[in-house]
């Protein structure tokens, strides 16, 4: 028996540091870390010491003997990883960082824009390196936590529990939170740069990307609005009514909203419950944006069947990847006209349609909305939900590169035009990398930005003791 990492592991690598056997891989710095969905435990090296269980902020590690039926496949996936990856010498990654941020008597004043996961890991990094640092966190909303509080799906319980990681760093005496203050609106970035030694942008990238739509109006909702409303307990989002709904986009957020639609289906008026939900993926299955665990979560939904559109792109049965082989085994179906079943009670059909890039969404005569794709198909449905990715909201005075990402070198912001560093301005999290990666990815990202900040401070002339 060994311990097993489950699918909601967010790769923050807290477990790697504490494992006495060095049996958790790929670790930060190793090949495959950037692209892996989760880390894995080598069952042949694990001695069941449980150190990793206590270190895991997402409760994503369990002993094999206590796995539930739906968790059992993860034991095989952990084993498979080590069967595929040659046993190259594995080095223990360096996750601790030396050096204090400022000398005795000196004080570094840092402003952080945003209070999501990237800000939290950054604050942790900063506090570890200096007792004389002062951090002020500006947050536009009245609660801290960013997407971890507002966006992550309520059924991702282990991930949502990571909000407890904010307690210690954000409760520290050296940290001040300024809520309901939007940088760029209530206070400018120039004012912050004048007032603080260093400004770190941790403002994320949660503005939904829009699709072309000619007057589809209220029939198209944004996935993020639904998830935020559900998480924040504001207006409960109404369940899709009528037999058919199209979800535009096939990343993990699209799958979050599909599970939501399945959960709330019986909230629709009697006889109007959803029966068919079509997920349109722009890419072919080989380049699908969703992760394997998001797909397996769909298969685990009660009272649903998952199918594949036979007129879309379909993976080969002998594909290398287990995910593609699993997709190829889905029963195929026709889809696109009126939904196959009338509205009402009964199992929900979830149909994956690949190679369908949306060209337009408009009001239709046959249903409420008609979504046309560049492949020349039209999907009719009663409602549509858009989940086509995210970009950052521009902040005046902050450079902006492709996909809204703040141009940077290892976290130091640089001019988009000249590539020169902008003194004292740093970036972390989704604002730095674009909208990809889970909560835990922000830990390594924060370490990189703070390491760069420390290197820059060291290379500057020593400052005089400046207690403000
Ligand atoms: C719908 C959804 C579901 C997800 N589910 C998962 C999951 O299940 N598991 C997982 O590991 N990851 C998940 N993620 C990814 C995860 O949420 C991100 O990795 C993480 O939130 C990025 O952290 P961040 O701090 O960069 O951005 P955010 O969490 O977006 O934090 C940015 C913060 O900055 C604030 N802000 C922005 N602009 C300003 C401004 N001008 N002034 C002041 N404050 C500002 C925002 O209000 C926000 O609080 C999900 C993402 C989304 C969108
Ligand atoms: S149980 Fe112990 S030996 Fe096994 S992976 Fe966790 S920390 Fe490593
Ligand atoms: S969430 Fe972090 S600590 Fe838990 S298993 Fe994944 S990498 Fe390890």
Mean pLDDT of 117-136: 91
Residue 106 confidence (pLDDT) above 80: no
Residue 310 confidence (pLDDT) above 90: yes
- Give the 3-state secondary structure of residue 352: strand
pLDDT at 321: 83
Report the DSSP beta bridge partners of residue 246.
278, 384
CA geometry: angle 286, 290, 293, nearest 5 deg: 110
CA geometry: angle 297, 440, 131, nearest 5 deg: 155
pLDDT at 423: 93
Q: For residue 385, which of 227, 202, 172 has the smallest C-alpha distance?
A: 227
CB 399 within 8 A of CB 199: no
56 CA distance to ligand 3 middle (Å): 5
Question: Which residues touch 211 (CB under 8 Å, ≥6 apart)?
Answer: 220, 248, 358, 361, 386, 388
- Sort residue 450 into left (φ over 0), alpha (ψ -120 to 50) or beta: alpha
> Does residue 62's CB lie within 6 angstroms of at least one atom of ligand 2?
no
DSSP one-letter string for 262-280: HHHGGGSPTT----EEEEE
> Does residue 201's CB lie within 6 angstroms of at least one atom of ligand 3?
no
- Phi, psi torsion values for 402, nearest 5 degrees: -60, 150
- Give the 3-state secondary structure of residue 426: strand
> Does residue 60's CB lie within 6 angstroms of at least one atom of ligand 3?
yes
Nearest ligand 3 atom to the CA of 5 is: 5
Q: For residue 137, which of 121, 115, 122 has the smallest C-alpha distance?
A: 115
pLDDT band per the 50, 70, 90 thresholds, residue 346:
confident
Least confident of 202-211, 360-369, 410-419, 435-444: 360-369
Please report the domains of the chain, with CATH numbers, ordered by start residue.
3-84 (3.30.70.20), 109-206+391-460 (3.40.50.720), 210-388 (3.50.50.60)
21 CA distance to ligand 2 middle (Å): 7
Mean pLDDT of 46-72: 89
Residue 464 confidence (pLDDT) above 50: no
Q: How many helices (H) and strands (E) does the chain have?
A: 14, 23
Cα within 13 Å of Cα(335), Cβ side: 30
Residue 60 confidence (pLDDT) above 60: yes
Q: Which one of 147, 181, 260 would you pick to mutate in the ligand 1 pocket, going by the greatest count of ligand atoms within 8 A of its CB?
A: 147
DSSP one-letter string for 142-159: SSS-HHHHHTS-TT-HHH
DSSP one-letter string for 69-108: TTTHHHHHHHHHHHHHS-----PPP-------SS-TT---
pLDDT band per the 50, 70, 90 thresholds, residue 175:
very high
CA–CA dist 468, 466 (Å, integer): 6
pLDDT at 466: 39
Q: For residue 351, which of 373, 369, 368, 333 has the smallest C-alpha distance?
A: 333
Q: Give 366 or 258, the one with higher predicted confidence.
A: 258
CA–CA dist 243, 210 (Å, integer): 25
* 134: its two tokens: 């002062």
333 CA distance to ligand 2 middle (Å): 45
- Give the 3-state secondary structure of residue 323: helix
Q: Could you give the percent of the chain with pLDDT greater than 90?
A: 63
48 CA distance to ligand 2 middle (Å): 5
pLDDT band per the 50, 70, 90 thresholds, residue 365:
confident
> Does residue 25's CB lie within 6 angstroms of at least one atom of ligand 2?
no
Q: Which one of 14, 17, 38 would you pick to mutate in the ligand 3 pocket, going by the greatest count of ligand atoms within 8 A of its CB?
A: 14
Nearest ligand 2 atom to the CA of 19 is: 7
What is the CB neighbour count within 10 angstroms for residue 34? Answer: 12
Q: Which one of 6, 22, 23 would you pick to mutate in the ligand 2 pocket, going by the greatest count of ligand atoms within 8 A of its CB?
A: 23
Per-residue pLDDT of 197-207, as tens digits, reads 999 999 999 99
Q: For residue 355, which of 313, 306, 319, 389 has the smallest C-alpha distance?
A: 313
pLDDT band per the 50, 70, 90 thresholds, residue 87:
low
Residue 382 confidence (pLDDT) above 80: yes
> Which residue's alpha carbon is at the smallest distance from atom 7 of ligand 2?
19
What is the CB neighbour count within 10 angstroms for residue 69? Answer: 7
Given the DSSP bridges, would you call strands 369-373 and 332-333 parallel, antiparallel or unpaired?
A: unpaired
CA–CA dist 388, 381 (Å, integer): 18
Nearest ligand 3 atom to the CA of 14 is: 3
């Amino acid at each position: 028996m060994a311990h097993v990492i489950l699918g909601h592991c967010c790769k923050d690598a807290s477990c790697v540091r504490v494992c006495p056997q060095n049996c958790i891989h790929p670790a930060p710095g190793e090949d495959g870390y950037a692209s892996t969905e989760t880390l894995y435990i080598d069952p042949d090296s694990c001695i069941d010491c449980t150190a990793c269980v206590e270190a895991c902020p997402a409760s994503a590690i369990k002993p094999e003997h206590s796995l539930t039926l739906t968790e059992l496949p993860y034991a095989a996936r952990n084993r498979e990883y080590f069967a595929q990856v040659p046993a190259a010498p594995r080095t223990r990654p360096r996750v601790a960082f030396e050096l204090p941020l400022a000398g005795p008597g000196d004080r570094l004043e840092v402003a952080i824009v945003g209070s999501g996961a990237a800000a939290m890991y950054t604050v942790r990094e900063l506090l570890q390196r200096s007792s004389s640092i002062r951090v002020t966190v500006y947050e536009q909303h009245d609660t801290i936590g960013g997407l971890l509080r507002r966006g992550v799906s309520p059924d991702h319980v282990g991930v949502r529990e990571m909000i407890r990681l904010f307690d210690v760093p954000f409760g520290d005496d050296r940290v001040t939170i300024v809520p309901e203050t939007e940088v760029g609106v209530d206070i400018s970035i120039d004012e912050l740069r004048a007032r603080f030694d260093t400004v770190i942008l941790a403002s994320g990238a949660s503005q939904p990307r829009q699709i072309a739509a000619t007057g589809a109006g209220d029939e198209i909702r944004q996935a993020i609005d639904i998830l935020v409303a559900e998480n924040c307990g504001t207006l409960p989002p109404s369940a899709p009514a009528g037999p058919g709904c199209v979800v535009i986009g096939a990343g993990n957020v699209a799958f979050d909203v599909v599970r939501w639609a399945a959960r709330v289906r019986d909230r629709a008026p009697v006889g109007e419950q959803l029966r068919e939900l079509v997920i349109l993926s722009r890419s072919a299955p080989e380049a699908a944006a969703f992760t394997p665990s998001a797909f397996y979560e769909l298969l685990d939904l009660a009272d649903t069947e998952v199918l594949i559109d036979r007129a879309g792109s379909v993976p080969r049965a002998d594909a290398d990847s287990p995910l593609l082989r699993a997709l190829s085994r889905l029963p195929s179906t026709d889809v696109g006209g009126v939904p196959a079943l009338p509205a009402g009670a009964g199992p929900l059909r979830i149909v994956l349609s690949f190679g369908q890039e949306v060209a337009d969404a408009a009001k239709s005569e046959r249903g409420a909305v008609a979504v046309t794709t560049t492949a020349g198909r039209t999907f009719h449905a009663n409602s549509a939900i858009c989940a086509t990715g995210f970009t950052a909201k521009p902040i005046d005075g902050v450079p902006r590169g492709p996909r809204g990402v703040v141009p940077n070198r290892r976290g130091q912001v640089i001019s988009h035009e000249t590539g020169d560093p902008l003194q004292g301005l740093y970036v972390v999290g989704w604002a730095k990398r674009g909208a990809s990666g889970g909560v835990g990815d922000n830990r390594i990202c924060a370490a990189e930005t703070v390491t760069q900040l420390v290197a820059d401070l060291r290379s500057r002339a020593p400052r005089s003791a400046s207690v403000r």
